[in-house]
Structure 1
Amino acid sequence: MTTQHSVKVVGSADKTVDCGAEQTLLDAFLRSGVYLPNSCNQGTCGTCKVKLCSGTVDQPAVSETVLSADDQASGFVLACQSSPTSDAEIEVPLDAGSGPAHPLRDLQGTVHEIRELAHDTVALSVGIDEPLSFSAGQYLEFVVPGSGQIRQYSMANPPSSADRLEFHVRRVPDGAATDRWIFDTLEPGDPIEMRGPWGDFVHGADTDAPMILLAGGTGLAPLKSIALEALDQTPDREIHLYHGVRHRGDLYDVDFWSELRESHPNVHYNPCVSREEWPGRSGYVGDAVVADFDSLRGYVAYLCGPPAMVEAGVKACKRRRMPGRHIHREKYTPAPVAEMTPA
């Protein structure tokens, strides 16, 4: 029988869950439908840090760039990396707020279609037997067959079409999930083992504020989900999408966004190419935003892509006087080699 430990959030009588000895705190809480802040689920961002007030946990070594020496000395641990070795109590930082509380699930999917989007990018259409409850912007973990490794891919479809999921996958040279699986042997009809939803990068309750969407590469996927949900709620929502890539051949979903622009006059599509001359807009998405707007007061922004692009985009939004609380971001970073934790 698997050992179970009781883990309680201090000061919250209704936030006590049972956690397996080899199960992470984050996994246990999310499976119970109890929200804990989370983002990368890889131990690299620090979003899920909680304070261990009593009890003990197993946790691999954590970089001081993620948890400072002072934090670690004060008892802070990463919920996505820590498994209890006794009953425990944790304290969630006061500024954590609330977030999506969709129960974490193990999913069995079936590939319906693999569609080429660009020279090194495909769209996976995956069907699931029971619709998935998730918030626009969240992601799933894929289990790479035969390896135990996991990779993370954001849903590109809106929550309203949750029985067939869309993912955008860019080839990584010699990648365990891409070159050696998705771009090599994966075919329609094949099963995919998944887990989720994860992440706090979600479409928020920002009324009908006009939106700035900044995407780098396949960071476009969650922004597509966010844009479609926003338009489901408010068809005349003002949305400015900037999609940044290095080369013209890296652009994808151009027809989709062009058609969306035609059917929704307040949607503005701005593809940007940074390393190649072409008939369209050249340069970086952050610079394009600065050039297009004198002020972004009253706007909200969602940014997703490589860290450098996201950081530059945040600076551009703040330069145009957008408050930091209105800027939502997700950085794509290389996935470490990690194995699934038994639930």
Structure 2
Amino acid sequence: MPSTSTAGSVSVGGKRVECDEDQSILEAFLRAGVWMPNSCNQGTCGTCKLAVLSGEVDHRDSPLETLSEDERAAGLALACQARPCGDAEVALRGDKANRATHPLKDLSATVVGIEDIARDTRRILLGLDEPLAFSAGQYVELVVPGSGERRQYSMANTASEDKVLELHVRRVPDGVASDKWLFGSVAVGDRVEAVGPLGDFHVVDESDDGGEPMALIGGGTGLAPLLAIVRTALARHPDRQILLYHGVRGQADLYDVDQLDALAAKHPGFTFVPVLSDEPDPERRSGFPTDAFVEDVSAAKGWSGWLCGPPAMVEAGVKAFKRRRMAPRLIHREKFTPADALTPAPPTNEEA
């Protein structure tokens, strides 16, 4: 939670906000409702990299793998890690421009539901004290009780489902958040503190949605934000062509199949394709979901693509989409990496 002591003010594109002591530049802008590109918010992806035009910043825990010494010397910084040392002015790189965003908020919630939905996978429902404005596909960051650790989980909700958040959690052995908390001590009625919404992996504004065909590929609990995106897209354009691939190891890892089959029955343009990589089943596709997409689609020019899951799957998906002539600007991606599997770097949208 931010402190009340001001470290300085920071401006970008003519918009200036106050930055509290020990508050990152990114958090200060997002809390003020000023958009900045952001994805992992942990310093590992580089999405929020910006140029410091004036003033100085403390880079804090910015990894050298993401922000090299040469980049620091050239005046670059990671907005999610850097703290201003007094007043400063920054600029986004490239042709990125400020756009509307939902303000970042501190959230208080109560655990209202816990359900085992697949092998080592749980659905956690959090009832919010106050509704949360967000876009389908975004995530929240939970505070792990008693540890000081924070973990990120995508919401499976549409924007209208703003009072009870649905999170899908994969169990990671010895994980501080998953194994010890969300598969361990958590109970219905527990209070949970969180921050959100976060991330640029989300549907476009309805005014910008032309109803183009969509291909979505999710690995494991990477299905969560894709469910929200698919349901939002179909609500806007019921006849839209949408292909959703869910890649898992075996039949025991699939979940929400009945819900997705029902959605396909209601919307003939929507197709759900489960793909099993390690434990073949005669009733399911075998292999990898990215290969299944290439087999099914001969050309994807004009389509939008959505990828969410392990880094290797996401990178394979980008190649598959480009192979079918999908425009790079229409390819959206979110990488999931278990937090406790990384040392010392934290993840991009954590699952642990």
What is the DSSP-based 3-state SS (H/G/I as helix, E as strand, rest coil) of the residue aligned with 1:290? helix
Distance 2:59 2:218 in 1: 34
Whether 2:97 is the aligned partner of 1:90: answer: no
CA contact (8 A) 2:132 2:162 kept: yes
CA contact (8 A) 2:8 2:19 kept: yes
Q: CA deviation at 1:114?
A: 0.6
Q: CA deviation at 1:195?
A: 0.1
Q: CA deviation at 1:100?
A: 5.1
TM-score by length of 1: 0.94
Distance 2:10 2:330 in 1: 33
Distance 1:98 1:202 in 2: 16
What is the DSSP-based 3-state SS (H/G/I as helix, E as strand, rest coil) of the residue aligned with 2:184? coil
Q: CA deviation at 1:51?
A: 1.1
**Which one-letter code corresponds to 2:33 in the other structure?**
G
CA contact (8 A) 1:100 1:135 kept: no
Structure-2 change in CA distance of 1:135 and 1:172 (3 Å): same
What is the DSSP-based 3-state SS (H/G/I as helix, E as strand, rest coil) of the residue aligned with 2:264? helix
Match of 1:253 in 2: 256
Match of 1:70 in 2: 70
Distance 2:248 2:142 in 1: 25
Matches for 1:152-231 after TM superposition, within 5 Å = 152-204=152-204, 205-231=208-234
Distance 1:56 1:62 in 2: 15
**Residues 123-163 of structure 1: CA distance to partner in whole angstroms, max 9, x if unpaired?**
11111122111111110000000001000001101001111
Q: How many residues align?
A: 335
Distance 2:312 2:278 in 1: 15
Match of 2:349 in 1: none
**Which one-letter code corresponds to 1:131 in the other structure?**
P
**Which one-letter code corresponds to 2:239 in the other structure?**
D
For structure 1, the 5+ residue unaligned runs are 339-343
Matches for 1:237-252 after TM superposition, within 5 Å = 237-252=240-255
Distance 1:250 1:64 in 2: 36
Match of 1:341 in 2: none
**Residues 274-329 of structure 1: CA distance to partner in whole angstroms, max 9, x if unpaired?**
11121210000111011001111121111100010011111111111111111111
CA contact (8 A) 2:309 2:335 kept: yes
Q: CA deviation at 1:334?
A: 2.8
Distance 1:63 1:116 in 2: 36
CA contact (8 A) 1:109 1:127 kept: yes
Q: CA RMSD in A?
A: 1.5
**Which one-letter code corresponds to 2:281 in the other structure?**
W
Match of 1:57 in 2: 57
Q: CA deviation at 1:187?
A: 1.2
Distance 2:308 2:294 in 1: 18
Q: Select 2:275's aligned residue among 272, 275, 284.
A: 272
Match of 2:325 in 1: 321
Distance 1:63 1:166 in 2: 32
Q: Select 1:232's aligned residue among 219, 235, 251.
A: 235
Q: Select 1:295's aligned residue among 273, 295, 299.
A: 299
What is the DSSP-based 3-state SS (H/G/I as helix, E as strand, rest coil) of the residue aligned with 1:94? coil
**Which one-letter code corresponds to 2:16 in the other structure?**
T
Q: CA deviation at 1:64?
A: 4.1
Identity of aligned residues (%): 53
CA contact (8 A) 1:5 1:20 kept: yes
Structure-2 change in CA distance of 1:108 and 1:61 (3 Å): closer
Match of 1:6 in 2: 9
Structure-2 change in CA distance of 1:154 and 1:92 (3 Å): same
Distance 2:259 2:108 in 1: 28
Match of 1:105 in 2: 105
* Structure 1 stretches of at least 4 aligned residues deviating more than 4 Å after TM superposition: none
What is the DSSP-based 3-state SS (H/G/I as helix, E as strand, rest coil) of the residue aligned with 1:161? coil
What is the DSSP-based 3-state SS (H/G/I as helix, E as strand, rest coil) of the residue aligned with 2:192? strand
**Which one-letter code corresponds to 2:329 in the other structure?**
R
Which of 305-314 and 98-107 deviates more?
98-107
What is the DSSP-based 3-state SS (H/G/I as helix, E as strand, rest coil) of the residue aligned with 2:312? helix
Distance 2:108 2:158 in 1: 19
Which of 41-50 and 329-338 deviates more?
329-338
Distance 2:63 2:162 in 1: 37
**Which one-letter code corresponds to 1:320 in the other structure?**
R
Structure-2 change in CA distance of 1:313 and 1:121 (3 Å): same
CA contact (8 A) 2:111 2:124 kept: yes
**Residues 33-74 of structure 1: CA distance to partner in whole angstroms, max 9, x if unpaired?**
011111000100001111112222222353443124432221
Whether 2:313 is the aligned partner of 1:309: answer: yes
CA contact (8 A) 2:62 2:82 kept: no
For structure 2, the 5+ residue unaligned runs are 347-352
Whether 2:287 is the aligned partner of 1:283: answer: yes
Match of 1:80 in 2: 80
Distance 1:85 1:73 in 2: 16
